[in-house]
Amino acid sequence: MNIDIQAIVNDHIKSMEDKGIIEKTIQETLEKSILGAITDALDSYKLRRAIEEKVSKEVSSVMTDIGFTAYNSFIADKVKAITEGVCNADIAAKIQKTFDEILVVKRESIKLSEIFEKYRKWVCNEVDESEKYDLEQFYVKFEEDERYGWFKVELAKEKPRSSCLDEVIKFTLFKESNKKGFGSISSTYIDGYDIKDRFKFGHMSEFELLLVNLVYNDTPIEIDVESEDDIDNSYDTDD
């Protein structure tokens, strides 16, 4: 008995065509491929860097010319225009919402202890478990200069060596002369740069963005910490 394989294949293909199976499969495969390509493109490092660089270029040129209260609105408008130009409406809206929550929203005040606790929460999430046990504590420097009325603050995952100073977050907290118990943050250094000299949104941690927010909004800081002994700088180990 001779079996005509080609005829069987042809009949099966025709049957699949008649039932719309082939058309449906092609459609589903195309849809999956296209959506996958879009997701990969939007999540790519290259695209993120392009958006970061464009945001930085657009907004940094006016940084030294206007106050941050007016600058908030300017940044928000620029981010909206940029994201709408490169993303669909849904993604642009999500980017805008996240941006507003992180940078534009202004706090009435914040406690100094809350700032230290937010750093602790962030650094505990960033450092590997094994390294936490080795280090036991992250680095905190909190010194008051009574002569000039300010505090010098330094934070890092471990005590810095002279060659690793860029890893230390530094800021100065000035006491308010007209509001006892409060101060304001100034002279903030991240990655070795004063944020007012090198203001960039890309690759900043949640804690770093908090400091940017506090500095440029001139947020009042309630000074409820008196010494390093008041600061919990332990890692969240089980010990």
* Sequence spans of domains, the chain: 5-41, 44-104, 110-230
pLDDT band per the 50, 70, 90 thresholds, residue 66? very low
156/147: higher pLDDT:
156
pLDDT tens digits along 83-136: 665 566 666 666 666 566 555 667 889 999 999 999 999 999 988 888 888 888
Determine what percent of the chain is predicted with pLDDT higher than 90.
21
8 Å CB contact between 67 and 196: no
Which of 106, 87, 74, 73 is closest to 218 using CA atoms?
Answer: 106
Which of 124, 127, 119 is closest to 171 using CA atoms?
Answer: 119
pLDDT tens digits along 193-236: 887 776 555 566 788 888 888 887 888 999 999 889 999 999 98
Helices and strands: H and E segment counts in the chain? 8, 7
**pLDDT surpassing 70 at residue 21:** yes
Which of 142, 223, 234 is closest to 181 using CA atoms?
Answer: 223
* Distant-in-sequence contacts of 57-65, Cβ < 8 A, 24+ apart: 58/82, 60/199, 60/200, 63/196, 63/199, 64/196
Q: What is the pLDDT of residue 107?
A: 83
Mapping DSSP to helix (H, G, I), strand (E, B) and coil, where does residue 168 land? coil
18/190: higher pLDDT:
190
**pLDDT surpassing 70 at residue 57:** no
CB atoms within 10 A of CB 120: 20
CB atoms within 10 A of CB 106: 14
pLDDT band per the 50, 70, 90 thresholds, residue 179? confident
Can you tell me the distance from the alpha carbon of 186 to that of 229, in angstroms, rounded to the nearest whole number?
A: 23
129/3: higher pLDDT:
129
Q: What is the pLDDT of residue 116?
A: 96
Q: What is the pLDDT of residue 64?
A: 46
Range in 31-40, 133-142, 144-153, 199-208 the model is least confident about: 31-40
Look up residue 236 and give its two tokens: 């969240």
Can you tell me the distance from the alpha carbon of 210 to that of 130, in angstroms, rounded to the nearest whole number?
A: 27
